[in-house]
Amino acid sequence: MTGTTWRKQVRADIKVSVDSIVSLAAGPDLVWVDLCGVSVETLQQVGALLHLDAHTIEDAQAPMERPKATRFADYTFTTVYGASLSADGAARGRVRIARVSIYTLPTCLLTIRASDGFDMTPVVQRWADDPKLPGFGVDGLLQGLLDVAIDQQFVVLQALDDDAENLTGELFADDSDIRDLQRRTFVLRRETVELRRVVPPMRDVVATLIRAGLADHGWNNELLSYYEDLSDHVLRANEWLDGLRDLVTNIFESGLALNDNRANLVMKKLAGWAAIIAVPTMITGWFGMNVPYFGFDTMAGFIGSSVAIVLGAATLWIVMRRRGWI
């Protein structure tokens, strides 16, 4: 377990043990404690020492807990997800989501991660880049963490949006592979579904935190502006995701329509050529005809029927060609 303290805005990294968490959380200094990959027994022990609700300890261990923020008398429990793209996800999609559970105690920010899938390095850098955040206390640290998580979602949304634009350009290309486009569109559609599990609930998370901050913590206007900016980012992410979902749906449906149109075009051309081939049969049948045609036993009849076949087939070909049937 690792931790960081801020004393008079001076940051220092510290080693944390289970026994020292209580003294750190109850101390006057602002502290961040990170529990990454710890056992269930350790989480339960920490929860008992800090008097945390048992249900939140279970939620911190659950595999697919929904993003949420829950207010308690002395702390707030928040669950959020970061997002990233994997390069080896061609079959099941590239979107990877990683959860972090957060306890906002009076002077302690306690984060719980099942693994290092949610990287805290950008969060620490965010705190370092804006010294006002540690100055706001644990609510400022939480704002920086949420801001990084939402920024990660924006990066993934931008990548998926670029993929959708590429699919749109390839969709109407003359030599496009409809089968490959449908497969890639389906994968992109599934990736947007992955994001829909974690992006829309963030609106309620931020709204709950703002209500709790105003009612319980007495936020000043400056800290409130940070969270209102966060709320704006969440709203933009939701609007972007909704637009992306509609675009992917339109691409998928347009691909199906283009596939049907190409099949109809092939059938139309086959019908046109069948009509041209039927012209000789209409005039005469030199192989297997059991009814004599006019002048069949003379050279003039043979020449006349041949000319009629050529002229009829050529005329029909010209007419269908002009109408785009063949």
Average pLDDT over residues 64-88: 88
Mean pLDDT, residues 214-219 taken together: 76
Residue 176: pLDDT over 80: no
Domain end call among 223, 249, 275: 249
Which of 249, 276, 305 represents a domain boundary (last residue)? Answer: 249
SS3 state of residue 30: strand
Range of the domain at 151: 2-249
**Does 29 fall in a domain?**
yes
Tell which of 224, 249, 274 closes a domain: 249
In terms of domains, do 243 and 269 share one? no
Residue labelled with tokens 């009829």:
312
Mean of the pLDDT values across residues 286-295?
Answer: 56
pLDDT confidence of residue 303: 77
Task: Please write the tens of the pLDDT for every residue from 79-104.
Answer: 999 999 887 655 567 889 999 999 99
Question: What per-residue confidence (pLDDT) applies to 287?
Answer: 47
Give the separation between CA 26 and CA 23, rounded to whole angstroms: 5
Which secondary-structure segment (H or E) carries 222? helix 221-283
Relative to beta strand 30-36, strand 108-113 is: parallel
At residue 204, the pLDDT reads 93
64-78, 110-124, 163-177, 286-300: range with lowest mean pLDDT: 286-300
Claim to verify: residue 67 and residue 149 sit in the same structural domain? yes
